[in-house]
A and B are shown apart, each in its own frame.
Chain A
Amino acid sequence: LAKTTQPISMDSYEGQEVNITCSHNNIATNDYITWYQQFPSQGPRFIIQGYKTKVTNEVASLFIPADRKSSTLSLPRVSLSDTAVYYCLVGDMGRRALTFGSGTRLQVQP
């Protein structure tokens, strides 16, 4: 399984764009990159998934360079409610178990 490395914590202010980068140097050809969000006392929630280049949905954008050894989750104009832990996951779609790391704790301040 590809190991992921992401910052332990980040701070931001309301209205700013937040970019969280995840390193996955050993990513395999069949691996997809997925991001989950978790609020305190809740289960994780799927945010976005991609394989290469850029993916955008109503919540976030995911940027993946050509070598796929890293990825960046971009949250536009964060609000206080975006304060959460964000997990970067890398894995083969054929494997059903999700492998979470320790995540990045994002604190958004007024």
Chain B
Amino acid sequence: DTGVSQNPRHKITKRGQNVTFRCDPISEHNRLYWYRQTLGQGPEFLTYFQNEAQLEKSRLLSDRFSAERPKGSFSTLEIQRTEQGDSAMYLCASSLGGSPTYEQYFGPGTRLTVT
């Protein structure tokens, strides 16, 4: 399977703990995105990388959130001191620069539950 992969698929953590999610994009894609989706709502943009550079961050990305993309390949999203409001599906997507469309390829997501 050469699609976008995310790990873990599910994560249950206690409030106050730190969690880290990983995203492996489609290999030739130089752009990588993180979104968050809560029940009944569409995905909300969090941040965007072009290669290893983080070019855009949403105001939703509080100081407790940090994302990295070392070497422009896989990416990690870390949430520190998790809160119950962080419970959501975290989606990663990738795309190829220069594409003439808005087509982003999404992974299956990591579902986070904060108890």
Residue positions of A touching B, CB distance < 8 A:
32, 34, 41-46, 49, 85, 87, 89, 91, 93, 96-103
Q: Report the bound CA distance from A97 to B47 in whole Å.
A: 8
Q: Which residues of A contact B40 (CB under 8 A)?
A: 102
Contact present for B93 and A100 (CB under 8 Å): no
Contact present for A97 and B102 (CB under 8 Å): no
Contact present for B102 and A89 (CB under 8 Å): yes
Contact present for A34 and B106 (CB under 8 Å): no
Q: Shortest distance in angstroms between B25's beta carbon and chain A's nearest beta carbon? A: 12
Q: How large is the interface on B (under 10, 10 to 19, 20 to 34, 35 or more residues)?
A: 20 to 34
Q: Report the bound CA distance from A46 to B107 in whole Å.
A: 12
Chain A binding site: helix, strand, loop or mixed by DSSP?
Answer: loop
Q: Which residues of A contact B22 (CB under 8 A)?
A: none
Checking A45, A46, A101 against B102 with a beta-carbon cut-off of 8 angstroms, the contacting residue is: A46
B43, B105, B108 — most chain A CB neighbours (10 Å): B43
* 9 residue pairs, one from A and one from B, having the closest CB atoms: A43-B106, A100-B42, A97-B45, A46-B103, A34-B102, A49-B101, A96-B48, A43-B91, A100-B43
Q: Report the bound CA distance from A34 to B40 in whole Å.
A: 20
Contact present for B102 and A49 (CB under 8 Å): yes
Contact present for A98 and B43 (CB under 8 Å): yes
Given contacts A96-B31, A96-B56, A97-B48, contact A102 B106 (CB under 8 A): no
